[in-house]
Structure 1
Amino acid sequence: MFRNLLDRLFTEDPAPRPLATDDAEVAVAALLVRVARADDHYHASERMRIDQVLGQLHGLGPIDAAERRAVAEMIEAEAPDTVRFTRLIKSRVSLEDRMGIIGAMWEISLADDRRTAQEEAAIRLVAGLLGVTDRESAIQRQRVAGGR
């Protein structure tokens, strides 16, 4: 299953079409996993928070969210680089939803109650690649930190 998704995500398409709902959800989940793994410490609290975020964003139950995360972990491990990955998402996901993705990334980054330079750098990279400004990212971070 995930090999087909990778093929669809990384095949150049002269007329990009929106990702199928399931594919888009897994692609976003893979970005969340990438941020959580950025500091080489992929904690249970981060995995649990990814499951919660996926459940909230997509109306998934705990088992479905964990399954979606497991697929996203495989996708993330296979994805060659963040640039190609985000380029496709940027072309197929609205700016408002991309800002929501950055907010979700901050939720994952802060899930283990530690801010690491590696995770912050990963979010900054992804935000820039998704067309989300530093200011918009900071607003998302503050929103997430304020709700903790």
Structure 2
Amino acid sequence: MFSDLIRRLTAPEPQTLPDTDARLALGALLVRLARTDGEYATSEIAQIDASLMQRYQLSETEAATLRAECEALETQAPDTVRFTRAIKDAVSYEDRLGVMEALWAVALADGNRDNEEDSMMRMTASLLGVTDQDSHRARLKVSAG
């Protein structure tokens, strides 16, 4: 089901993804972040659904269905670099700031700042081309909200 998307994500010269594939790439990145610490908490799953609902104006059922597809894609995809490259190529810098907010919301959803998640967040921000300062602002915005 995801072989075409994975092929495009792993191509030497990736193409801009259609919206459907960009949604899957973003969702899979959120899932990968949530699984980074070895625990895929209910609070993280709920936050992924909430982020997908907000970002794409989905119902709860639609968001849960999309998340399930993203979970399957995440297990098949080779590495985080390709997710971030696809997202970076598909969305503007301003939208990538929204991606960082969604990622921070998932990272903070279980109430724990985990070393693995912090490391993943630093790497992801860099790969998305988001500055450390903007990533920090996104974290503060999520923490305050």
Q: TM-score, normalised by structure 2?
A: 0.93
Residue 10 of structure 1 corresponds to 10
Aligned identity (percent) is 47
Measured in 2, the distance between the counterparts of 1:47 and 1:3 equals 24
Gaps of 5+ in 2: none
Alpha carbon RMSD of aligned pairs, Å? 1.4
- Give the drift of 1:106: 0.3
Measured in 1, the distance between the counterparts of 2:114 and 2:86 equals 27
Q: 1:23-62, aligned counterparts within 5 Å?
A: 23-62=21-60
- Give the drift of 1:140: 0.2
> How many equivalent residue pairs?
145
Residue 135 of structure 2 corresponds to 137
- Give the drift of 1:93: 1.7
Measured in 1, the distance between the counterparts of 2:66 and 2:111 equals 24
Gaps of 5+ in 1: none
8 Å Cα contact 2:25/2:86 also seen in 1: no
Q: TM-score, normalised by structure 1?
A: 0.91
Measured in 1, the distance between the counterparts of 2:44 and 2:33 equals 10
Q: Comparing 88-97 with 58-67, which one deviates more in the overlay? A: 88-97
* Divergent runs of 4+, >4 A: none
- Give the drift of 1:77: 1.3
Aligned match of 1:70 in 68, 71, 76?
Answer: 68
Look up the equivalent residue of 1:125 and give its one-letter code: M
8 Å Cα contact 2:27/2:70 also seen in 1: yes
1:120 equivalenced with 2:118 (yes/no): yes
- Give the drift of 1:12: 3.3
The one-character-per-residue Cα deviations of 1:52-98 (angstroms, maximum 9, x if unpaired) are 11001001111110111111111111121112322232222211111
8 Å Cα contact 1:29/1:50 also seen in 2: yes
Measured in 1, the distance between the counterparts of 2:63 and 2:2 equals 16
